[in-house]
Structure 1
Amino acid sequence: MLQLESILTEIKMPETIRVGAHNAQAIPGVEFFDEPFLKQFKGASFWGFALRLQIGASSDIVPQTTEWFALIEDSYPFGDIWVYPSKANGIDVTFPHQDLNSFGNEKQPWRDGKLCLVSPVQGLGRIAGGKDPIGNYEERFRWHLSRAITWLGCAATNSLMQDGDPFETPYYACSSRRHIVHNESSATFHLWAPYNDGSLGIVVFHEVFKNDNRDLAVSFETMDGIPIRRTRPYSEENHGINSRHRRTGFWWLWKAPIVLPPWQAPTNWGELREIGDQQDIDVDQALRSIASLVRGEAATVLLIGYPMPLICGEGACEIYWQAIRLPRLESTKQAPKGGYLPTEKNFWGRDRRQAFMDQHKFAYLKTENWHPDRMQARGRFGSTMCKAKVALIGCGALGSIIAELLVREGVEDIMLIDGKHLSAHNLVRHTLYGDVIGKNKADALAECLSLSYPFTKIVSINNYLSSSSDQVESLLMDRKIVLDCTGCDEIIQILENVWWEMPKLFISSSVGYKAQRTFIFKAIRHQFPSEEFRRILEPILNEERNNWAENGETLEGPGCWSPLFPARLDDLLLSATSCIKVIEECLLQFRPDAKVVVFEQSFSNDMFTGLTRKECSLLSSMEGE
């Protein structure tokens, strides 16, 4: 047995790593069997330790004793700790919660199959639970090796993915810069029911960002061009079958996860054929159908997918797609070599021998699901707010911030209305940038938000709200929320003159001097209640005029639309956030009473202490809540 203590004393290594290794050797089943070494790896310095890990259980592919390498970044107890199987006496297959376990670099004694030890896996958490103790040099190395022992035990008993765990797709090694984006969800799952038997079809792509190598799948069609599902920003002009801008690839839907046991994604066409045999899918027949359409064309993309659950043990509820860049096939203008006749059969024979031979490796492309359920999983409105259609009038400083918050947090359909253009002096507190100076604010804001959220419906009206009641009625007919951020009396008068059959949530938001106070009028009515608005707001504006007079300014009306209006961006962010909170509570409560909510910044000894909230209505005086 290696005398680790004496070696650790002799080798010049950081004291934190020495102590960590000393503590880790006490774990039952862990044996250090070679001298530690220092190596540059993936752009950093790592200390490597050769290990034997022993478990009680075993299987045909996981022996009781296996060999491993643990790599500890020299910034320990910070930085990375990675555990890899050894090329000698290590495991050589890929499991869940593991990178693709390929042979790896010829010069390295370990394979590529790094273990995922920090994910919240139930089987690991019950035995070696808790979070990675980053910063604790006495415990962190021991924690990782304890997790590795537990991981091995779960691998041997086929329990790395248990019922109740989040479903994990296999690891895909993606080397290309090109990204493919889609938006599958449980809401689209039923559309695929007729096709999850190995069916092929056409996928139409849209360039998300110019020159950014990201393509958005906006239409899935049968091979005959019949649409299965389409998504924004699909249009017949840019993506229809007769469009000269149309860019296509293929989709291929399988019956079940496409893996080699225990959990390896195929790396070449031979492995895919092996999995196809297991699922009764004729891989060559599908590839031949694709090849007949793309010979001589530029390399195209194949989205290969399968139904998956979100939680292990539950039923499938979403389609998972993974993109592959198909190899470029020789043109039919070039006859197959060897004296073969230029027939479809012989062309396919050439394709099969050259491009689709068993050993030919895949070129996986990074594939991302941008559905709001995924994109906004870290923070999103409830479904009532997300589904509410919004009209936002006034895309200035306050309006642009509110619009961005609404879109980022999940509103699916928003209309932006503004007739003004962005000026250089707007930039001090506007969400837009200098590259759109001179453009209409509504158009520029819609374009900017659409780049980040291409699946959100964002419509811009690059004109002032019409004074025609009929036009306004039609324009805002389907809007559940009408949000005025102009601070302009004319907008109030226009909205007052229209009556809608379905009541709307009217919000008029503006700010006071230096945005120290935020005024939010709220009412649920068939038309905007301008009389109540003016009567409730007038006493508040009188107070505000006094504030302005004390500071040598003249208040002409509420709002931050004037380029000289004194208000900082950080204060407007507070105002916009307050407005969002009021809108959300109004939708949840849906009370028709008209009120003005006032948020005022509070200070103590020149220190900001928060916001105070007060409400005012015709039936009550100003009162705190």
Structure 2
Amino acid sequence: MPPSELTAAVSSLDSLDGVTVVEGPFQHEEGSKWVLEVKLQPDEIEATSQIPQESTWFVLIDPTYPGGSIRIYPAEEGSTTATYPHQRLNVAGDEDTPWRKGNICVARYGHIIGRSGATGEPNSPDERLRWHLERALSWLEAASKGELRQEGEPFELPIFSTNTAPQNRVAFNETAESLELWRSEFGNWGFVDFVELTEPSDVFLTEQFRDEDDNVVYHPEWGEYISSHICSQTRGAWLLLEDPPIEPPWEVPETWSDLANLLEDSSIDPFELRANIDSIVEDDAFNCLLLGFPIPSEVGGSSELIHWQGIELSDVRPASELPGFRETPRGKEIAARVDLSRDSIRWLDSDNWAREQLSRRGHIQDPLREASVLLIGAGALGSTVAEGLVRDGCHDLTIVDGETFEIGNLARHTLTLPEVGENKAEALANRLNSVSPHVDVDGFSVSFPLEEDDQLEVVESVDVVIDCTASNSVLQALNSCRWEEPVLCCSASMGRRANRLFYFASYSLNFPASQFQEEFEPWRLQEQIEWQPGEDAVPERVGCWHPASVIRMDQVMTWAGTITRLLEQDTSLGLRGTEFRVLESGDDGTPTISEAEPPFQDIEKWVAPDSEVSVEIPASCLRAIVDICVEADPLETGGILAGTALEQTVARIIRASDPPRDSDQGSTTFTRGTERVDEWLREARDSLGIHYLGEWHYHPGGSAELSSSDRAQMNEIASTDEYGCPHPIMFLVGGNPSDTLAVRAYLFHRNRDYEELEHIGPPDGPSRPTSSFDLDINFPNARVGDSQ
């Protein structure tokens, strides 16, 4: 039996226009998801589209409903077979399922059905399933009109089915800069040199591209890891199109004939191309054609980079095996056309490994990201700082440390068991080079200062120096350095118990060691006074006293991340500028950092005396309303209230709109206009997840009590389905700006009754019921208080 929450949710669909439950919920397999078969009949389906006026769909619901996933798939029969934007590839499903695989996306992306980062998806059992099917109806309407892709949305490619291809993957390196190199090559073809990696296996990277005359067109740059992890080289071909190979509604060619038909208006014949490249690629273990095309980052935007999609090339028999043909270019073309015309295209997984693409989830700012960095000290703090820098986008790093990685270092270090006994700097460099295909990390197994010429060249050319040794001798050596250009140089170290971070940075031609020592000296004495050897250190080895400080890795990671953030800020230091900071953690070990003020701390609350409904509004929102009233005086004014329901009986107002420009304002009358109201509400819903809650209104020189016209307006709103608000709220402001302004709140009901709300102050404050709002805020030219 389905859970009661799901049964109730399905029953609620009886009142949803356009949705008919055919069967379910039932379980297709024991213990699997619940399945609901429905017919969807939206109001507005474009007659010329491939979307049927009525179609059958299967809704797959997680057993944990109202939690878990809800997916909506077209039926094998009586539904759409095409693939549209914001839909998985709509191919036939498994033999034992009556639905296809084209799950439609109704909970993410796209503005046409009110989707964005803040969709406001409900969590309650009686609303969540209904919400998904309402949006499925909207999705079908938008799909039939070709409106699923809206300008300004992130651009998404159609899905290239790779189920029939081998596990090989293609990795390329394309940026906005390389697009400029390719612009003169649209419609052309050539050859590409691939390198196969040892790890990860089955990955082929583009090493360089050549035109059909074997001239180099583009040579992408890769990091140290790539050059040292190549197991083989091979050659393929490339073909560059002017536009993505997309067939309406949103599909890529499935067969070579589909591709030929798509390109029939161009000068490109894929069968002729296959014959031309056959002699180059036929003997290689990895036969691949890269199909390239420019793509934007946003729908409707300009092209920003080239995307390459790999195709595995199957064998074509010799032309001599065809009756009447020889091994001529024409014969090879005919052989390719005969062999491939009905063949499916074997698309390969293809990814852009460009540095900009790999850092999209977050990276440090360019001054530090593009800097050449010298890190001195690869211990606990230094190794963690290095790890963070590389993962945050720093690609040019040199590490200096003469010590060996020992078994005791495992407790707080980024290196692992296989590196025990190796030099810290060299082992760490090897590890970090595997973090990104664009990183070049060098490790020097010597102590600072460096002495050999090649090492000195590195020091002379750096932009940033980070000292994590806590060594006075290193600081003195840095003080002796004289750079030709100013260098950002920092020294960072932890206190004995890691409860403090000492950070000093300078931007100058040498490191001002004496200034650092002067500022650090009081803290050194404090650390010395606080240090208790019996509590803060333990013998690391048996036999004699080898003191090791007791510091946990989570503390090291906290301070390492802090150092990166401080460095990022200090890239703006002026010449000879310095900064000394001591950050301290709390008694429980957590860093003591300033916290952002929690939102909605200035809430004022009203309660309904009969229905137990409460209404909350930030004082800043009230302040904005009163400012508009003061500006409009002596004319009436008003606007819309929007917010959200925190619970069934609690509403929180978040935004109050200005009066629309087409509003009719008089000294004793006000008619709220409609211009841009729908757009304002839609933006509020999409960006903040808030909805219409009611109106606000101003009576200049009068009281904050309801007038007959106010009651008529709110009764109409409560009874009109278009507003979707059966219990609208009204805030009334009355009085004179030069004297006293009073605020009262009212709650209306669909049965034409209403309640005047009582103001009780902040939600957690002392209850002080009053019909009129009393708020201690200074308004320009106005005073807000109780009306008598």
Please report the TM-score for the alignment, with normalisation by the length of structure 1. 0.86
1:490 aligns with 2:477: no
1:611 aligns with 2:592: yes
Q: How does 1:155-174 map to 2 (within 5 A)?
A: 155-174=143-162
Partner of 1:65: 54
Q: How does 1:459-474 map to 2 (within 5 A)?
A: 459-468=442-451, 473-474=456-457
Q: Which amino acid aligns with 2:489?
A: F
Q: Distance in 2 between matches of 1:527 and 1:589?
A: 14
1:380 aligns with 2:363: yes
Is the 8 Å Cα contact of residues 196 and 254 (structure 1) preserved in structure 2?
yes
Partner of 2:398: 415
* Residue 346 (structure 2) aligned to one of 363, 375, 380: 363
Residues 576-585 or 244-253, more deviating: 244-253
Partner of 2:201: 212
Is the 8 Å Cα contact of residues 21 and 36 (structure 2) preserved in structure 1?
no
Is the 8 Å Cα contact of residues 206 and 217 (structure 1) preserved in structure 2?
no
1:149 aligns with 2:137: yes
Q: 1:367 to 1:136 in 2, by over 3 A?
A: farther
Partner of 1:616: none
* Residue 311 (structure 1) aligned to one of 298, 316, 319: 298
Q: Distance in 1 between matches of 2:76 and 2:232?
A: 49
Q: Which amino acid aligns with 1:315?
A: S
* Residue 177 (structure 1) aligned to one of 167, 174, 177: 167
1:587 aligns with 2:585: no
Q: 1:415 to 1:40 in 2, by over 3 A?
A: farther
Deviations 1:509-565 (A, max 9, x none): 11111211111121111012222222222222122222224647799xxxxxx9823
Q: Which amino acid aligns with 2:26?
A: F
Once the 2 structures are TM-superposed, how far is the Cα of residue 210 of structure 1 from its aligned partner?
Answer: 2.1
Q: Which amino acid aligns with 2:72?
A: V
Q: Which amino acid aligns with 1:368?
A: D
Partner of 1:16: 5
Deviations 1:309-360 (A, max 9, x none): 1111111111122222222456x6x963658545554455444433xx2221
1:196 aligns with 2:183: no
Q: Distance in 2 between matches of 1:261 and 1:314?
A: 19
Is the 8 Å Cα contact of residues 245 and 252 (structure 2) preserved in structure 1?
yes
Once the 2 structures are TM-superposed, how far is the Cα of residue 226 of structure 1 from its aligned partner?
Answer: 0.9
Once the 2 structures are TM-superposed, how far is the Cα of residue 293 of structure 1 from its aligned partner?
Answer: 1.2
* Residue 259 (structure 1) aligned to one of 246, 256, 261: 246
Is the 8 Å Cα contact of residues 204 and 220 (structure 1) preserved in structure 2?
no
Partner of 2:556: 572
SS of match in other structure, 1:144: helix
Is the 8 Å Cα contact of residues 473 and 498 (structure 1) preserved in structure 2?
no
Once the 2 structures are TM-superposed, how far is the Cα of residue 93 of structure 1 from its aligned partner?
Answer: 1.6
SS of match in other structure, 2:526: helix
Partner of 1:539: 522
Q: Distance in 2 between matches of 1:414 and 1:424?
A: 25
Is the 8 Å Cα contact of residues 537 and 547 (structure 2) preserved in structure 1?
no
Q: Distance in 1 between matches of 2:273 and 2:476?
A: 63
Q: 1:475 to 1:259 in 2, by over 3 A?
A: same
Is the 8 Å Cα contact of residues 71 and 83 (structure 1) preserved in structure 2?
yes
SS of match in other structure, 2:549: coil
RMSD: 3.0
Once the 2 structures are TM-superposed, how far is the Cα of residue 26 of structure 1 from its aligned partner?
Answer: 2.5
Q: Distance in 1 between matches of 2:3 and 2:86?
A: 30
SS of match in other structure, 1:507: strand
Q: Distance in 2 between matches of 1:591 and 1:404?
A: 29
Is the 8 Å Cα contact of residues 371 and 462 (structure 2) preserved in structure 1?
yes
Identity among equivalent positions (%) equals 28
Partner of 1:295: 282
Q: Distance in 1 between matches of 2:292 and 2:558?
A: 44
Partner of 1:621: none
Q: Distance in 1 between matches of 2:116 and 2:521?
A: 65
Larger RCO, structures 1/2 (Cα 8 Å, 6+ apart) = 1
Partner of 2:44: 56
Once the 2 structures are TM-superposed, how far is the Cα of residue 504 of structure 1 from its aligned partner?
Answer: 0.5
Deviations 1:159-209 (A, max 9, x none): 1111111111101222343332233222322121111224333142341x5
Is the 8 Å Cα contact of residues 128 and 147 (structure 1) preserved in structure 2?
no
Q: 1:570 to 1:238 in 2, by over 3 A?
A: closer
Q: Which amino acid aligns with 1:63?
A: P
Q: Unpaired runs of 5+ in structure 1?
A: 1-11, 556-561, 614-625
Once the 2 structures are TM-superposed, how far is the Cα of residue 594 of structure 1 from its aligned partner?
Answer: 3.1
Q: How does 1:62-461 map to 2 (within 5 A)?
A: 62-125=51-114, 130-133=119-122, 135-175=123-163, 176-207=166-197, 210=199, 212-223=201-212, 224-233=214-223, 245-329=232-316, 336=321, 341-343=326-328, 345-354=330-339, 357-461=340-444
* Residue 506 (structure 1) aligned to one of 465, 489, 504: 489
Q: Distance in 2 between matches of 1:129 and 1:151?
A: 17
Q: Distance in 2 between matches of 1:395 and 1:454?
A: 22
Q: Distance in 2 between matches of 1:248 and 1:234?
A: 22
Q: 1:410 to 1:180 in 2, by over 3 A?
A: same
Q: Distance in 2 between matches of 1:596 and 1:412?
A: 27
Number of residue pairs the alignment of both structures matches = 583
Is the 8 Å Cα contact of residues 473 and 500 (structure 1) preserved in structure 2?
no
Q: 1:339 to 1:465 in 2, by over 3 A?
A: farther
Once the 2 structures are TM-superposed, how far is the Cα of residue 235 of structure 1 from its aligned partner?
Answer: 10
Is the 8 Å Cα contact of residues 218 and 233 (structure 1) preserved in structure 2?
no
Partner of 1:620: none
Q: Which amino acid aligns with 1:547?
A: E
Is the 8 Å Cα contact of residues 219 and 234 (structure 1) preserved in structure 2?
no
Q: 1:553 to 1:142 in 2, by over 3 A?
A: closer
Q: Distance in 1 between matches of 2:492 and 2:117?
A: 52
Is the 8 Å Cα contact of residues 55 and 152 (structure 1) preserved in structure 2?
no
Once the 2 structures are TM-superposed, how far is the Cα of residue 86 of structure 1 from its aligned partner?
Answer: 2.1
Q: Unpaired runs of 5+ in structure 2?
A: 539-545, 595-788
SS of match in other structure, 1:379: coil
1:528 aligns with 2:511: yes
Q: 1:262 to 1:198 in 2, by over 3 A?
A: farther
SS of match in other structure, 2:106: coil
Partner of 2:650: none
Higher alpha-carbon Rg: 2
SS of match in other structure, 1:599: strand
Q: 1:350 to 1:280 in 2, by over 3 A?
A: closer
Is the 8 Å Cα contact of residues 191 and 235 (structure 2) preserved in structure 1?
no
Q: Distance in 2 between matches of 1:317 and 1:382?
A: 21
Once the 2 structures are TM-superposed, how far is the Cα of residue 376 of structure 1 from its aligned partner?
Answer: 2.5
Partner of 1:31: 20
